[in-house]
Amino acid sequence: MLAEVTKPGTDETVRVPMPINLDTINRLYDLSLDQDEVEGWLAARAEQVPTIRTSEDVVVSKVGRELYEKFFRGYTRKQWALDPSELDKSVTARVPTRTNTDDRYFTDTFQAMPADGYTKMFEKMLSHPNITIRTGVDYAEVRDSIPHKRVIWTGPVDEYFGFRYGKLPYRSLRFEHSILDQAEYQPVGTVNYPAEEVPYTRISEYKHLTGQVHPKTSITAEFPSAEGDPYYPIPRPENQALYKRYEALADAAQDVWFVGRLATYRYYNMDQIVGQALATFTKIDASLPPEAANDDAEALRRAAAGTSPPR
């Protein structure tokens, strides 16, 4: 990943590695520091923060005010419609800072995508004969008409409980897709745009991720929004306090499991959410008698299809 920023003291725009690492510093400041030298360079600019509470605290205590302004402040204000000083430390704590040349967000040994893409993966998961799909349906309108014994809820936890204590706030995104008559738009899969005057936060070009070769290319620009599908729980103390009230209701709900970002009001990466889903299945499997897994599958299928059992 790269980030497009201006070089200090100039109007020159450059693209440098993100997360911040040794190459980022050397390219941005026209230096030739080594790993030991850049560690001291960053330490000299880092600010002393007695207690790390906010996302601003996290960054300025690691890399100082100037790099915070260039890479984090504008991006965060666009993404969350809040200053980093108003957000929990967890937001920017996810982003590493390195003194070597490793520009990966994650250091997992194995990092990959589904061989045929996420759409095919989910289609295969949902093709089981015991699964019936109904779209365009409001759960609140059908929850009492479909016979069921157990529910796995992945939607917003406040919605499940009819917004009893008020709505939990989320941020959304608007995607602008383009197909371009050129083989390549940018040199990497994603470029971040931290400047506040740029309305989007990043642009992704998919062929860098898939390895496809084609004379045209597809890109997507992401525009943060307060409206739209809920994507990102907003990590602030008052929001967490509201969630805790819903969490108490969720804990007390019988035969309902709450799974995912929206249901647990937490930001998860893809590997984390798969891990949570598998862990939840293990808990469900351990709590049910062996014959319970498919005891009412046929009734559920018929109810969803609007048919009656044979007489």
pLDDT (tens digit, 9 = 90+) per residue, 235-253? 899 999 999 999 999 999 9
How many whole angstroms separate alpha carbon 218 and alpha carbon 176? 11
d(C-alpha 158, C-alpha 8), whole Å: 45
Task: Give, as one character, the DSSP assignment of residue 69.
Answer: I
pLDDT in the model for residue 167: 95
Q: According to the model, what pLDDT value does residue 196 have? A: 93
Q: Which residue has the higher pLDDT, 287 or 38?
A: 38
Q: Which amino acid is at 121?
A: M
Q: Which of 54-58, 229-233, 285-289 has the lowest mean pLDDT?
A: 285-289
> Mean pLDDT over residues 68-91, rounded?
93
Query: Which residue from 205, 211, 201 is spatially nearest to 179, judged by alpha carbons?
Result: 205
Percent of the chain with pLDDT over 90: 67
pLDDT at 311: 42
Dihedral sign for Cα 39, 41, 44, 47, please: negative
Counted residue by residue, the chain has a size of 311
Which of 224 and 308 is assigned the larger pLDDT? 224
For residues 164 and 225, is the Cβ–Cβ distance under 8 A? Answer: no
Q: For all residues of the chain together, what is the average pLDDT?
A: 89
By 3-state DSSP, what share of the chain in percent is helix, strand and coil, each rounded to 5?
A: 40, 15, 45
Q: Tell me which H or E stretch contains 14.
A: strand 13-17
What is the pTM (predicted TM-score) of this model? 0.83
> What is the predicted pLDDT for the residue at 157?
96
